[in-house]
Each structure stands twice: as structure tokens, then as C-alpha cells.
Amino acid sequence: MQLPRLCGCGDVHQADEVCPRRRRRRNTGPTATELGYDHHWTRTRNAYAAAHPDCECGGYDRCDHPAGSCTVQPREVDHVDGLGPLGPHGHDWANLQHLCSTCHRRATQHRRRRGGGGSGSSSGE
């Protein structure tokens, strides 16, 4: 009999036991690549981020910042329509905005409350 092991989730499991938390995480849906976050998206994201170095949150109902006052370094390129790179305007710069993580999270939550898209993906929704 093998000794129990410490799992990446922080729990202890028998050596032959599959972690239920990790099993759920593996089978929760499509991969980022299947959602369109591939090398083509990476090029679009990097080019857009370089051309728009400041957070473009716009303030108002999406975050606590008055329009144009967010001074946090943006890290996320967001799809305004919430449909991601596979949407009809997935690589259209008019559908993108460069946001800091806080503003991106709030913009995504705002879209979800309105019933729009928003997967909350990596540096790149």
C-alpha cells in the first residue's frame, strides 16, 4: 500500500485517489485555445496594448474611477461586446479596451448583470 500524498489543492489523498477538486477543474469546459485565445489573439492583444498604454475604463457604471482617471497599469485587453476573439468583432480594435485588472473584472461583471457575454478569461478577454 502506498502512502497518502499531499495534493496541489492542499488536501491529503490516497496515492491512487483522484482529487475531486482537480478532476472538476479539468473537465469544466473548453480550453482557452478553443475559445479563440490563440497565437492570433496574442498578436492582436499585444499590438493593441502597445498602442493604448493607459487604462481605458471610462469610469461611470463600470468602476469607481471617474472617466479617464484610473492610473493603474492596464494588464487586460477586454472585448467590449464580451464575445471574445471568436465573436464577430473579436479582433476589431473598435471592440477592444485596455483595462487594469480591477476595471476588467468590473466591466465583465457589469456585462453579466446586463445579460451580455463575459468569460473573464486570461489576459485577454
Per residue in 32-52, pLDDT (tens digit) is: 889 999 999 999 999 999 999
Strand ranges in 59-104 using DSSP code E only, listed in sequence order: 76-79, 96-99
| pTM of this structure | 0.66
Residue type, 32: A
Q: Which three cell numbers stand for residue 116?
A: 451580455
**CB neighbour list of residue 14: distance below 8 Å, 6 or more residues apart:** 2, 4, 5
According to the model, what pLDDT value does residue 43 have? 97
Render pLDDT for 2-31 as a digit per residue (tens, 0 to 9): 788 888 778 888 877 877 776 655 556 788
Residues 84-108: pLDDT tens digits?
Answer: 999 999 999 999 999 988 888 888 8
Whole-angstrom distance, CA of residue 102 vs CA of residue 48: 19
